[in-house]
């Protein structure tokens, strides 16, 4: 995928960074056997997805591609090749 810019947007970076911080918080509190801190970290992880989605909706994500394909006739309507005879 040379030239692909998948994920290189402010929305993607912000969402991933927030989710990563939440993952680290949840992991630390899980090791310390503190359920409240673990669930707070999980909430941060989910918040990262929500923030990324909101930022994408605001136009800070990857623009949607217009998929224009060249016009070709469906296979069922093509003329058969002339038989040599």
Tens digits of pLDDT across the chain (85 residues): 445 556 688 888 999 999 999 999 999 999 999 999 999 999 999 999 999 999 988 888 887 775 555 566 556 665 666 666 5
Q: CA-CA distance, 55 to 49, in Å (whole number)? A: 10
55 in any annotated domain: yes
Q: Does some domain include residue 30?
A: yes
Whether 82 is in a domain gets the answer no
Q: Would 19 be classed as within a structural domain?
A: no
Asked if the structure places residue 53 within a domain, the reply is: yes
Domain that holds residue 44: 25-59
Q: 7 in a domain, yes or no? A: no
Comparing CA positions, the residue from 64, 65, 63, 61 lying closest to residue 10 is 61
Show the 3-state SS of 2-49: CCCCCCCCHHHHHHHHHHHHHHHHHHHHHHCCCHHHHHHHHHHHHHHH
59: left (phi over 0), alpha (psi -120 to 50) or beta: left
Six token digits for residue 23: 């993952």
pTM to 2 decimals? Answer: 0.66
Q: What was the pLDDT predicted at 3?
A: 53
With respect to residue 38, please indicate whether it lies within any of the assigned structural domains. yes
Q: What's the domain count of the chain?
A: 1
């Amino acid at each position: 995928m040379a030239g692909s810019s998948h994920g290189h947007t402010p929305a993607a970076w912000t969402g991933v960074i927030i989710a990563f911080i939440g993952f680290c918080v949840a992991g630390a509190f899980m090791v310390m056997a503190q359920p409240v801190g673990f669930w707070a970290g999980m909430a941060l992880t989910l918040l990262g997805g929500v923030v990324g989605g909101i930022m994408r909706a605001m136009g800070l994500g990857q623009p949607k591609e217009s998929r224009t394909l060249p016009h070709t006739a469906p296979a069922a309507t093509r003329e058969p090749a002339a038989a040599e005879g």
